[in-house]
Amino acid sequence: MADFDLSRLVRPNVARMAPYSSARSEFAQGDGGVAAEVMLDANENPFDTGYHRYPDPLQHQLKQRILTTRALPALTEAHLFLGNGSDEAIDLLLRAFCEPGRGAIVIQPPTYGMYEVSANLQDAPIVRVPLGADLQPDYAALRAAAGPDTRLVFFCSPNNPTGNLLEPEAIAAFARSYHGLVIVDEAYIDFALAVRPDASLLPRLTELPNLVILQTFSKALGQAGIRMGMAWASPAVIAVLNKIKPPYNLSQVAQQAALNALDYSELTTQLVRILVAQREALRQTLGELPFVDHVFPSDANFLLVRFDDAAAVFSHLRAQGIVVRDRSKQPGCAGCLRLTVGTPDENARLIAALAEFTPAA
C-alpha cells in the first residue's frame, strides 16, 4: 500500500466547512427516547399530499435494500453513497478532492465524457493516458503520469465506448500502489457479470481504502429516467461525499422507484441475458457486412463498430429514423459508431436498414 492518507487528499475548504444540518437530523442525533411526532421545523405544508415531507437525506431504506442485493456482509450503509445519477457522484468527487487549477484527474481515452466535463467545471487539470492497443490500461504510463498533484484516476470497466472489461486484478494492484483515489466506473458491470462472475471490484472494496466504485440504475436495471447512481467506497470517503452533497439530493419519488425496481431482479437477470445474446448475434451479423471494418468485442450492452465510411452509415441510419452514437472523433475511434443493443425488433430494424446501405463507389 502506498501512503494513502485521505486527510491529505480532501480539499482544505471541504475539510473545514460545516455541512448543512436540518433540525430533523439534529433531533435524531440528540437526546434519544422521544419520537419526533409533530414536525414544525421545515416549513413544509402539513397536509398530507403523499409527498409533503422532505425525503430521507441519507436514503436509509433504499440503501438497506441495495445491500441485500449485493450479499456482501462486509459492506454497510456507510460504504454507500447515492446520487442523482452516477454523474452526481463524479461531480462531487471532483469537488471534494480536486483543488481548482491544481488537483488533477487522470483519464484513459477513449472513455466516458463526463469525467472531463466535471473536471472542466471544477477547473481541474486533466492528464490523459490512452488505453493500450489491447484496450487495457497502460500501467507503466499510468504510474509515470500519476504524480503527486493527481488526485483521482478514472477506470471505466466495461469501458464506454469500447465495451471491454478492464482486468479487475490489475486495477486492484494499481490501487495498492497509488496515493490518490482510484475510481472504477462499473456502469455496465451487470452485463459483464452475466458472463464473468469475478468482473466487479466490489468484493475487494474493504481491502482497498482508496477504491471508489460507481454503479448505476440507468443501464441493466432499466431506470435511466429516475436518476439513481451509487458510489461504493470506504466509510471515510463516503462521509466526505455525504458532507458536501445537496441535503435532499434524491427525491422521494426516485427513492420509491428504485425500491420498486429492485423487486424485479429476476426479470432484470433475464433481460440482461437477452441483451447479451442479442449483442453477440448482432456482432456476428455486423461482422459479415462488407462495409464493416471491425466490430469490437463487448462486455456491455453496446457495440463499437468501425466502418469504412462511418459518416455515410450514420446519415443513412438517421434517414431511416435510427439514432446511433458517432464516436469517430474520440482518440483511437476513427471511423467508429457506437450501437446500443436494442430490443430484438429494434435490432432487426437496424440490420434491415444496414442491409440497404450502399457504399459510395
Contact letters for ligand PLP, residues 183-222 (x by CB under 6 A): --x-x----------------------------x-xx---
Determine the interface stretch with ligand PLP among 80-88, 205-213, 270-278, 287-295 (rule: CB under 6 A).
Answer: 80-88
Smallest separation (angstroms) from ligand PLP to the CB of 185: 5
Smallest separation (angstroms) from ligand PLP to the CB of 102: 25
Contact letters for ligand PLP, residues 9-28 (x by CB under 6 A): --------------------
Q: Does 229 bind ligand PLP (CB under 6 A)?
A: yes
The three-state DSSP-derived secondary structure of the chain is: CCCCCHHHHCCHHHHHCCCCCCHHHHHHHCCCCCCCCCCCCCCCCCCCCCCCCCCCCCCHHHHHHHHHHHCCCCCCHHHEEEECCHHHHHHHHHHHHCCCCCCEEEECCCCCCHHHHHHHHHCCCEEECCCCCCCCCCHHHHHHHCCCCEEEEEEECCCCCCCCCCCHHHHHHHHHHCCCEEEEECCCHHHHHCCCCCCCCHHHHHHCCCEEEEEECCCCCCCHHHCCEEEECCHHHHHHHHHHCCCCCCCHHHHHHHHHHHCCHHHHHHHHHHHHHHHHHHHHHHHCCCCEEEECCCCCCEEEEEECCHHHHHHHHHHCCCCCEECCCCCCCCCEEEEECCCHHHHHHHHHHHHCCCCCC
82-111: contacts with ligand PLP (CB under 6 A): 85-87
Smallest separation (angstroms) from ligand PLP to the CB of 108: 12
Residue nearest to ligand PLP (CB): 85
Smallest separation (angstroms) from ligand PLP to the CB of 37: 37
Give the interface with ligand PLP as residue ranges (CB under 6 A): 85-87, 112, 156, 160, 185, 187, 216, 218-219, 224, 229
